[in-house]
Chain A
Amino acid sequence: MSGLALQNVVKEFGSFRAVNNVELTVPHGTFVCMLGPSGCGKTTLLRMIAGLDLPTGGAIRLDGEDITHVPTHKRNLGMVFQSLALFPHLTVGENIAYPLRIRKAPKEDQKRRVEELLSMIHLSGYADRPVSKLSGGQRQRVAIARALAISPKLFLLDEPLSALDAKLREAMQVELRQLQQRLGITTIVVTHDQREAMTMADTVVVMNGGEIRQAASPIEIYRRPADSFVADFIGQTNLIEAEADTQGHVSVLGQSVPGLALPSGEAKATLSIRPEDVHLTAPGAGAISGTVTFVRDLGGTIETFVDVAGRQIVAVSTPRERPDVTVGQQVGVALTPDVCVVLRK
């Protein structure tokens, strides 16, 4: 099949298992973001796909062909490094032409392709500048153009936007996504920024401890997290323990919640409720009751902190639906089945 496939990929450094039995298929033309805290193995996984590190076990296939042991320079890929790794002794044009020069492309072809790429990254006329004279965002775009010079089968980026300031980063995320869609190139980005992943990806792969915790579309990752790690890592959430008695009646924090059900046979589970899904009502009547401890009004959003039996639940609302509560007031927190995601333990 066309695309990239990771089969049971394992990487060990000494006795430390950095990547543990990773299974992943990336169909041709999709944009994948590998997301996780630092040390979760995402960069190691990317380096193995690039051939810069050899897997301890498993196989990597590209368009059905086993490339596990193909050396990096024969994989025909493009990669953007966190440090960008632009060659300081070459000009912008020479940097972009480097992969073409290495492949001994005719001089005229090199020149034409460099012009093409420079106009694609909106830097026409910069070919003869030294890379040291560029701004951060321009260097970023040159690194991207250089990686795309040979129209690679696979476009890999390792924390590509982390060196940019917040505003430029957001703009580059959009630009990168639009570029990828225009070129239809299979792209894998490693990031620890979940906003970045949500903005760009077709598929978000959440990793922790060397394992894939969930691989799905951004909205599914957000709405239907597979476990409490994913729920907590992607955006803000309230994680609350729920218990079921033998009849299947569910209680949360010691208060029974009718209408809620746990997977059959489970006595305990964790509920994930996004703050924007928490509705504050009058106490009683199908809601668990608590006390308002703090109201943070940020102008655009209002966060209400409610203490229920020692646990803090955060509710976020817009100014339009501002809850009429004050600190110390008794309120009810409505837990309807449609907003509670039941997570496996």
Chain B
Amino acid sequence: MRREPPQTVGDYTPLLFPAAMLTIFFVVPFGTMIAVSFFQRQQGGFYTPAFVFDNYARFLTAFFGGVLGFSLMMAIAVAICCVVLALPFTYMLTRMARSVQVVWLVALLSVLSLSEVIIGFAWSTLFSRTAGITNILVALGLMGEAKALTPSFAAVLTGMVYQAFPYTVLVLFPALVRLDPTLTEAARTLGASPLKAFFTVVVPALRNTIVATLIMVFIFALGSYLLPQLLGRPQHWTLSVLITDQAIYQSNMPFAAAMAVFLVLVTLGLVALTVIAGRKGEAA
């Protein structure tokens, strides 16, 4: 069936509702935030409308630059860890019996139902000295004495990977199910070991899906602000934590808004770069 492009104004009516929702709940707040980011802060109070670049200028210090860099690095690390773990896992899962798949998918979905707070406190208990997993290692004789694993960067990374892993699997699952299983069999008959077949056939054939998943997990991880506080030290705090801090505890809305706008711009820039790089790779 060939779809005709809309002819009259009336043809656009189905778009009205989503357009209105998007305007009211996204465009307007985002516009307000951009406007506020240029406002003048009133010491000890709120802000007055103005057009100054002070908030952005303050942002361009080594400290905030460092935090931004750390946030991006953290989100990239989470994205890579998630995809590296989830891709082989999901590949195996799609080759299992239907009943096994259902059990795993239900388990993963139930992880999704956990709130970030519960995940954070659960991991901080698991990483604690008194009740944590190191006690098991001690009991097994693998470790001298129990110790706390949190706060640390590894603890933050673990918590965030744990949180993002189900999303990653659910995004990869349909693409892997659709992947023709005879592709890997063909690779094996042509002389590739199962591992080699995975890396020379499954991974390249799913390149676009993998890039899309990386971007999704990256953006998901960039917004996390609870887990870094629960499981990390102040130097592991992401930009989102600082934004919350400025907006709520320091009552510095204009600066918080400026940071948020900057974060959005950097994120969009990175995503655009990835997409362009992907296109180039495709053309080659």
Contacts and interface: CB of A to CB of B under 8 A. Distances in A.
Interface stretch (A82-90, A166-174, A334-342): A82-90
A156 B183 CA distance: 16
Interface in B159-196: 180, 182-183, 185-194, 196
A74 to B, nearest CB: 8
A325 to B, nearest CB: 53
B204 interface: yes
Contacts of A146: 190
A81 B200 CA distance: 18
Contact of B185 (A71, A85, A150): A85
A76 B205 contact: no
A102 B191 contact: yes
A87 B201 contact: yes
Dominant secondary structure at the A interface: loop
Interface in A27-45: none
Given A87-B205, A89-B204, A71 B182 contact: no
A85 B180 contact: yes
Interface in A45-99: 50-52, 71-73, 75-79, 81-83, 85, 87-90, 98-99
Nearest to B192: A102
B233 interface: no
B205 A78 contact: no
B205 A72 contact: no
A125 B186 CA distance: 24
Interface residues of B, number: 20
B192 A81 contact: no
B95 interface: no
A296 interface: no
A51 B193 CA distance: 12
A50 B207 CA distance: 29
B188 A85 contact: no
Contacts of B204: 87, 89-90
A156 B188 CA distance: 13
Contacts of B190: 73, 78-79, 98-99, 102, 146-147, 149-150
A87 B183 contact: yes
Interface string A95-123: 00011001100000000000000000000
A259 to B, nearest CB: 54
A73 B192 contact: yes
Given A87-B201, A89-B205, A150 B182 contact: no
Contacts of A83: 180, 182
Nearest to A77: B189
Contacts of A77: 189
Contacts of A150: 190-191
Contacts of A73: 188-194, 196-197
B189 A79 contact: yes
> Which interface residue of B188, B200, B205 has the most chain A CB atoms within 10 A?
B188
A82 B204 CA distance: 22
Nearest to A149: B190
A71 B193 contact: yes
B200 A72 contact: no
B58 to A, nearest CB: 47
A103 B196 CA distance: 11
Contacts of A71: 188, 193
A77 B188 CA distance: 10
Find the residue from A73, A75, A79 having the highest chain B CB count within 10 A: A73
A77 B185 CA distance: 12
Interface in A226-276: none
Contacts of A99: 190-191
Nearest to A82: B182
A43 to B, nearest CB: 12
B186 A79 contact: yes
Nearest to B205: A89
Given A71-B193, A83-B180, A98 B187 contact: yes
B191 A76 contact: yes
28 contacts: A51-B188, A51-B189, A52-B185, A71-B188, A72-B188, A72-B189, A73-B188, A73-B189, A73-B193, A73-B194, A79-B186, A81-B186, A82-B182, A83-B180, A85-B180, A87-B183, A87-B187, A87-B204, A87-B205, A90-B204, A98-B187, A98-B190, A102-B187, A102-B191, A102-B200, A147-B189, A147-B190, A150-B191
Interface of A: 50-52, 71-73, 75-79, 81-83, 85, 87-90, 98-99, 102-103, 146-147, 149-150, 156
Given A71-B193, A81-B185, 9 more contacts: A51-B188, A52-B188, A52-B189, A72-B185, A79-B186, A81-B186, A85-B183, A85-B185, A87-B205
For the complex of A and B, 4 pairs with smallest distance between CB atoms: A85-B186, A79-B189, A99-B190, A85-B182
